[in-house]
Amino acid sequence: MKVRGAVLREMGLPRPYAESRPLEIVELDLAPPGPGELLVRVRAAGLCHSDLSVIDGTRPRVMPMVLGHEAAGEVVEVGGGAAGFASGDHVVLAFVPSCGSCLQCRSGRPALCGPGAVANTAGSLLSGGRRWSDGGPEQLHHHLGVSAFADHVVVSARSAVSVDPELPFEVAALFGCAVLTGVGAVVNSASVRMGERVAIFGLGGVGLAALLAVGMDATFLERSLSDV
Q: Which of 121, 143, 167 is the last residue of a domain?
A: 167
Query: Does 152 share its domain with 182?
Result: no
Whether residue 142 lies inside any domain: the answer is yes
| pTM for the whole structure | 0.89
Least confident of 30-39, 123-132, 209-218: 209-218
Query: Does 93 share its domain with 156?
Result: yes
Least confident of 17-26, 112-121, 190-199: 190-199
Percent of the chain with pLDDT over 70: 94
Instruction: State the total domains in the chain.
Output: 2
Query: Does 115 share its domain with 11?
Result: yes
pLDDT of residue 212: 86
Q: Report the DSSP beta bridge partners of residue 91.
A: 73, 162
Whether residue 108 lies inside any domain: the answer is yes
**How high is the mean pLDDT of the chain?**
92
Q: Which of 167, 198, 216 is the last residue of a domain?
A: 167
Tell me which of 151 and 204 has the higher pLDDT: 151
205 vs 192: CA distance, rounded Å? 19
Whether residue 172 lies inside any domain: the answer is no
Query: Does 194 share its domain with 219?
Result: yes
pLDDT of residue 143 exceeding 50, the answer is: yes
**Eight-class DSSP state of 188:** I
156 vs 99: CA distance, rounded Å? 10
pLDDT of residue 188: 84
**Could you write out the DSSP letters of every residue in 75-119?**
EEEE-TT-TT--TT-EEEEPSS---SSSHHHHTT-GGG-HHHHHH
pLDDT of residue 72 exceeding 80, the answer is: yes
Query: Does 143 share its domain with 70?
Result: yes
> What residues make up the domain containing 188?
177-227
2 vs 146: CA distance, rounded Å? 17
Query: Does 48 share its domain with 125?
Result: yes
Tell me which of 60 and 216 has the higher pLDDT: 60
Query: Does 162 share its domain with 200?
Result: no
